[in-house]
Amino acid sequence: MQDIYGERALIIRPGLIVGPHDPTDRFTYWPVRVARGGDVLAPQNPEAPIQIIDVRDLSNFILKLIEENASGIYNATGPDYELTIGRLLDVSKQLTRSNANFHWASLDFLNQHGVQAWSDMPAWIPDDEEGAGFSRVDVSQAIAAGLEFRSLEQTVGDTLAWAHWRPADLEWRAGLTAEREADVLAALIRE
């Protein structure tokens, strides 16, 4: 891009794009799973960082930059504070008034049981030596250029409202099946 357009190039580097109508289930899994309640397998620890951007916020930002004929490279993820997997799960629980009970599994335990980051445990990359920094991307330049974020509560709520209309027998593209989660939870509780 920069080879062709030079200084006029506009490059947007989005993080995990989330919100209603996302067919990947990489975010939707968590609010829907927490809403179902009961024992929930959760990755690493509640303080593990994650970064997401609501598709509507990303779209607004891109349109703003285009209208301003802006150029440059922008990391477009969020929010404008350090979001954690624990906060995502807590907000999902509060909004749904669920009885979810989170069971935090260590990275070693998850690895021993073949539970994969990002696919089985969506939106989460281990905060370890290999994944360090993945969920701590600097977005200050995008914020300075006008990137704004709706609340996590709104993104979770709107995603849940959309997910409510999906077929009950939908095969999820990310996250653990109920049966696989129950098996892993049983092993965790036995430990």
Instruction: Write out pLDDT tens, residues 74-101.
Output: 999 999 999 999 999 999 999 999 999 9
Residue 5 pLDDT > 80, yes or no? no
CA dihedral 42, 171, 91, 83 (to 10 degrees): 70
Compute CA 87 distance to the chain's CA centroid, rounded to the nearest angstrom. Answer: 11
Question: Quick check: pTM over 0.85?
Answer: yes
For residue 130, pLDDT over 90 is answered with no
CATH 3.40.50.720 fits 2-190, yes or no: yes
Q: Where are the domains of the chain?
A: 2-190
User: Which residue from 54, 55, 106 is spatially nearest to 83, judged by alpha carbons?
Assistant: 54
Burial (CB count <10 Å: 0-12, 13-18, 19+), residue 113:
middle
